[in-house]
Structure 1
Amino acid sequence: MMMLFYPEESRGLVQWGAGSLVQESWYDSQLLAIQSAVCFFLIFYYAVHSQFSL
């Protein structure tokens, strides 16, 4: 409720609750980056080598 009426004052609370990558480690971010790179490569590959043209 306080965040609705005082968004500027409560912004720090949200940032504090989220933590930081230093505290939580980079593992999840690195895993997501690898998975995203593989997916983008597959999408690009299938778009280029597709038999159907748009």
Structure 2
Amino acid sequence: MLLSVIVYKHRLTPGQWSGAAVVFAGISVEAWVKRKDVHAKRVIQEKEKAKIKAL
């Protein structure tokens, strides 16, 4: 969508810019939460591996 605005010089109203900002903010937050969850799972897996090796 932003590429269309840049390449074809489409104009957006302030309300449309606000809507686009909300959409991209939502996508960013969703990606951040997912990355955080994946990282937490990896940390747990590494701790479990360390416990197994210690035995």
TM norm structure 1: 0.49
Question: Which has the larger share of helix?
Answer: 2
1 or 2 for the larger relative contact order (CA 8 Å, sep ≥6)?
1
TM norm structure 2: 0.48
